[in-house]
Amino acid sequence: MTKTITTKVRPIRKLFIIDSHDIGTFEKVISKISTDIEFIFNIFLINDENIFSDINKEFVKRHNIDIVLNLSVLENKIIEDNFLIESITPNDDTTKIERFVTYFYSISNLPSAFSKYNDTTKDKILYSNKYERGNYISAMSSINFGLLNEEPKKLSSNSVFENIKFISCETIQTIKENIFDKESHYSRIHNIVNPFSTGYGSSIYEIDYSHPEHFKKDIYIFVSSLNDLEGIIYFWNMRASNPSKEFFWFPEESIKDMNSVLTDEMIFIVTNENLENKIKNCSLKNKILVLDKLYFYSTATSWNLYEHTQTLNIQNRGDFSISHPIEKSFSTFGIGGACIIEISGLKNFFYPTHSKIGELFKVGKENSSFPERFTHLNNKKLSKYYLDFNPFEMQDLYVQIKLPIFKEVVEFLFDYKNLKLKSTKKTFILEQLINSIGGLYEVNQLCDERVFKLIEIMTPTVQTKKMITSLNASLDHDKANETIGNELNMSNIQFKPIISEYSNIKSEIKDENIIQTLYNKKFLLRGKSFNCSHCSSYIWLPFENINRVNYCDTCNNEVQIPVNKDGNDKYRINQLLINAYHQGQLSTLFLLNFFTENTFFTLDFLSNQEIFKQGNKKAHTDLDLIIKIGNRIGFAECKSTSTFSKRQIDDLLDIGRSIKCDFYMLSCLKNKDDIEILETIKYIETKNINKPVFIFTKEVLFKPKSVNFYKYFEVEANKFKQGPVLLAR
């Protein structure tokens, strides 16, 4: 199948987690990443009681982080489960910090389109040559201008920066003269080769975390003491989130020295009132804001000039290779640090973010000897660690990936939580039903209210005393139907099918085209029905099975088809529809039809899955439907004419929390005003669920196009939908 994909070469985006007050580790990290082309876009979080707050999770998500480098006492598994990104503890060997750095001096190539936007001409670039603990001038220079421990002229030879004049900024006077010219800072050197970024805005599918009043213009000076790690990291993360803003960091100890370059319009930002009072005592007239909350925008798109779009013949599963032209890479002479090859454009990448899901896209035991070479799936893009430059010849960059199918991904998500999935007989009934109608996008032919009523009328009901007494009185209607269906499948119950004439069917359906479709698809069978003249058994003979000589199935005697005086043929529905009705699969089909009619970019599903805890032979619970729309996964409980028990709701919510599904669905064929539906809504409201629980009733199941489902994922009043959502036309 021909598909268009986009590949991009870009730096590795990193999150560092360090323990509270561990200023030494922060300084160590700054030193090790000093030559990273995106030095200031590496973000930090402190291991404190708020590390896994909702705002921190969203902050990390918006920065599209590839890997977490954990330098704290936190367990990596806890970090992965909260931030949904692979976390490793750096060592001095295979996972040392330097292995995740894209060196600025490795960039020796500029794509041809680059000349339209910028060039590498700069009069000067200022940097700090050391980060000296306790020295506020050194700290101020390193954090604002950027740190380079090695001689930059030597480093930058043979790179696109070789003609730039690097100037060491180590005096307060040099700082004062250049602090507000941020484009001359080494920390902004990425702007030379990445001249524009897009996406710093807001989306209707994201909560707005930008400040409603500030950071539109003006110069903002973040102030903290030299040893205030929280204050320094707050500035660092704010600058990374707002790179175009005029943000600068002043150590508290530098205020008096910097007084001569301050203007009254500049705004100070501190993280506590104690520091606010100290600044006020300096007799400054500047406005002071006390802030400690992060403010940021949507995920930015950058390094666009290093993109390449191509058309490939790709199957929906299996292994294949992708190349990225060396002309659109960082280096043409094969020497440099690690980078990311980012691949986008395939529906196969539309999955929720998960710390380990990228493993499914690796080929075999790829890079088992190199644990740092991760593969991360996020935001519908696959990012692969790359460090395979050839220093002896110019050649394109190649990566291999594998495309898993939906079932493999879902099984992985459950297996990660020590849960196993198993298909049931109902799974295959639904598959047969869909295949018989012509595929998933043809099921609307069965999902008509008139057709459903016809199926109800023409489905035999069990009235034998033996069967009724065999059912547990505690079973609800759908469970009883399911039990009956199981007995039917095992031929434990046999009864006379319901036969009807065309006139009766037409009076129910009122549309000859629908009747013809049901007949063409062999859901509606046409034939002769009569009783055996020998044993009085009921005989049904479909037209295609009528022979010159016919026999009774019960007594095996030859029978004669009686003359039908009124000339009418007889009709019945096929056994597959009967089984689907008794097994509750029509209600599942109606919910599937809702999503096919709403035309989502991607739609995948698994039906009727039993869930087992590891080592248990008895099912823990079950899910009627696991569905993926776009990159969101939802879990569903489907009913026909009954509603949902509290236990069923609890089981659905519990398994959803464990797997981190994006939404829940409760679907039944009752009216939206039914008292049982209202009671279900009230019960869900008591569960304090932070994801939407969509309730589907007959009003929307039989008219699915009347609902814009995606609007329920939009932010409203800066909040997402949570708890019960009764869908309405």
Q: Report, as an integer, the average pLDDT of 109-123.
A: 68
User: pLDDT per residue over 222-261, tens digit each?
Assistant: 999 999 999 999 999 999 999 989 999 999 999 999 999 9
Euclidean distance between CA atoms 270 and 251, whole angstroms: 11
Residues 592 and 721 in one domain: yes
Collapsed DSSP state (helix, strand, coil) of residue 238: helix
Residue 465: what pLDDT?
A: 38
Q: What angle do CA 558, 564, 568 make, to 5 degrees?
A: 125
Identify whether 431 is part of a domain.
Answer: no
The DSSP secondary-structure symbol of 106 reads G
Residue 299: what pLDDT?
A: 80
Tell me whether residue 567 is exposed, middle or buried, using C-beta atoms within 10 angstroms of its C-beta: 0 to 12, 13 to 18, 19 or more: exposed
Domain stop point among 580, 596, 624:
580
Domain with 668 in it: what CATH number? 3.40.1350
Identify whether 424 is part of a domain.
Answer: no
Residues 590 and 706 in one domain: yes
Highest mean pLDDT among 4-8, 503-507, 515-519, 549-553: 4-8
Residue pair 171/179 in contact by the 8 Å Cβ criterion: no
Model confidence at 583: pLDDT above 60: yes
Say which amino acid occupies 469: T
Residue 291: what pLDDT?
A: 93
Q: How far is CA 683 from CA 679, 694, 723, in A?
A: 6, 14, 10
Could you tell me the residue range of the domain that residue 208 belongs to? 201-292
Domain stop point among 265, 292, 319:
292
Residue pair 672/707 in contact by the 8 Å Cβ criterion: no
Residue 121: what pLDDT?
A: 59
Identify whether 347 is part of a domain.
Answer: yes
Tell me whether residue 31 is exposed, middle or buried, using C-beta atoms within 10 angstroms of its C-beta: 0 to 12, 13 to 18, 19 or more: middle
Of 175-189, 627-641, 702-716, the least confident: 702-716
Q: Report, as an integer, the average pLDDT of 531-554.
A: 87
How would residue 466 be classed by pLDDT, with cut points 50, 70 and 90? Answer: very low
Residues 595 and 717 in one domain: yes
Q: Report, as an integer, the average pLDDT of 91-116.
A: 83
Residue 65: what pLDDT?
A: 96
Instruction: Give the residues across from 246 on adjacent strands.
Output: 219
Q: In 10 A of CB 566, how many CB atoms?
A: 5
* 44: nearest Cα among 306, 233, 244: 233
Q: Report, as an integer, the average pLDDT of 495-519.
A: 86
Euclidean distance between CA atoms 627 and 605, whole angstroms: 4
Q: How far is CA 26 from CA 30, 33, 56, 59, in A?
A: 6, 11, 19, 19
Residues 390 and 449 in one domain: no
Strands (DSSP E) found in 11-124: 14-19, 43-47, 67-71, 87-88
Q: Which two tokens stand for residue 199?
A: 């996406």
Euclidean distance between CA atoms 710 and 714, whole angstroms: 7
Identify whether 423 is part of a domain.
Answer: no
Model confidence at 107: pLDDT above 60: yes
Model confidence at 555: pLDDT above 70: yes
Tell me whether residue 256 is exposed, middle or buried, using C-beta atoms within 10 angstroms of its C-beta: 0 to 12, 13 to 18, 19 or more: exposed
Length of the chain: 729
Helices (H), 490-559: 502-509, 512-520
Residue pair 105/162 in contact by the 8 Å Cβ criterion: no
Q: How far is CA 4 from CA 15, 403, 404, in A?
A: 31, 15, 18
Euclidean distance between CA atoms 627 and 603, whole angstroms: 7
Name the helix (H) or strand (E) containing 485: helix 477-489
Model confidence at 704: pLDDT above 60: yes
Model confidence at 556: pLDDT above 80: yes
Percent of the chain with pLDDT over 70: 90
Q: Which two tokens stand for residue 230?
A: 């929280």
Residue pair 372/95 in contact by the 8 Å Cβ criterion: yes
Residues 678 and 572 in one domain: no
Helices (H), 525-600: 575-582, 585-597
How would residue 518 be classed by pLDDT, with cut points 50, 70 and 90? Answer: very high
Residues 566 and 596 in one domain: no
Euclidean distance between CA atoms 409 and 421, whole angstroms: 12
Residue 365: what pLDDT?
A: 67
Residues 648 and 704 in one domain: yes
Model confidence at 599: pLDDT above 90: no
* 248: nearest Cα among 131, 139, 137, 140: 140
The distance between the two most distant Cα atoms of the chain, rounded to a whole number of Å, is 116
Residue 562: what pLDDT?
A: 82
Of 352-356, 457-461, 594-598, the least confident: 457-461
- Quote the mean pLDDT of the chain: 88
Model confidence at 469: pLDDT above 60: no
Residue 636: what pLDDT?
A: 97
Q: Which two tokens stand for residue 76?
A: 């990596």
Residue 116: what pLDDT?
A: 62
Domain stop point among 242, 271, 292:
292
User: pLDDT per residue over 286-307, tens digit each?
Assistant: 999 999 999 998 887 889 999 9
Q: Which two tokens stand for residue 14?
A: 């990193």
Model confidence at 490: pLDDT above 70: no
Q: How many angstroms from the chain centroid is the CA of residue 379? A: 6
Residue 381: what pLDDT?
A: 96
How would residue 463 be classed by pLDDT, with cut points 50, 70 and 90? Answer: very low
Model confidence at 471: pLDDT above 90: no
Q: Is 597 or 482 the better-scoring residue by pLDDT? A: 597
Identify whether 345 is part of a domain.
Answer: yes
Residue 685: what pLDDT?
A: 96
Residues 617 and 535 in one domain: no
Binning the chain into helix, strand and coil, the percentages to the nearest 5 are 35, 25, 40
Residues 371 and 447 in one domain: no
Question: How would you write 250-312 as a 3-class SS string?
Answer: EEHHHHHHHHHHCCCCCEEEECCHHHHHHHHCCCCCCEEEECCCCCECCCCECCHHHEEEEEE
Name the one residue in this structure whose structure tokens are 């699915």.
704
Q: Report, as an integer, the average pLDDT of 662-690.
A: 95
Report CA torsion sign: 200, 202, 207, 209.
positive
Name the one residue in this structure whose structure tokens are 């009418």.
568
Q: Which two tokens stand for residue 126?
A: 């200022």
Residues 455 and 554 in one domain: yes
Euclidean distance between CA atoms 58 and 84, whole angstroms: 11
Identify whether 143 is part of a domain.
Answer: no
Residues 474 and 570 in one domain: yes
Identify whether 162 is part of a domain.
Answer: no
Model confidence at 49: pLDDT above 50: yes
- What total of structural domains would you count in the chain? 4
Instruction: Give the residues across from 603 on adjacent strands.
Output: 629
Euclidean distance between CA atoms 703 and 97, whole angstroms: 56
Instruction: Give the residues across from 376 on adjacent strands.
Output: 383
Euclidean distance between CA atoms 635 and 414, whole angstroms: 13
Q: How far is CA 524 from CA 420, 485, 543, in A?
A: 38, 20, 12
User: pLDDT per residue over 298-340, tens digit each?
Assistant: 887 889 999 999 998 887 777 889 999 988 988 876 556 799 9
User: pLDDT per residue over 375-396, tens digit each?
Assistant: 999 999 999 999 876 666 678 8
Domain with 220 in it: what CATH number? 3.40.50
Collapsed DSSP state (helix, strand, coil) of residue 558: strand
Q: Is 560 or 120 the better-scoring residue by pLDDT? A: 560
Collapsed DSSP state (helix, strand, coil) of residue 96: coil
Q: Report, as an integer, the average pLDDT of 272-276.
A: 91
Identify whether 66 is part of a domain.
Answer: yes
Residue 486: what pLDDT?
A: 59
Q: Which two tokens stand for residue 484?
A: 């009956």
Of 115-119, 258-262, 417-421, the least confident: 115-119
Residues 26 and 79 in one domain: yes
Strands (DSSP E) found in 123-201: 125-127, 166-168
Residue 153: what pLDDT?
A: 79
Report CA torsion sign: 473, 479, 481, 485.
negative
How would residue 115 be classed by pLDDT, with cut points 50, 70 and 90? Answer: low
Residue 364: what pLDDT?
A: 77
User: pLDDT per residue over 644-654, tens digit each?
Assistant: 999 999 999 99
Instruction: Give the residues across from 167 on adjacent strands.
Output: 126
Model confidence at 497: pLDDT above 80: no
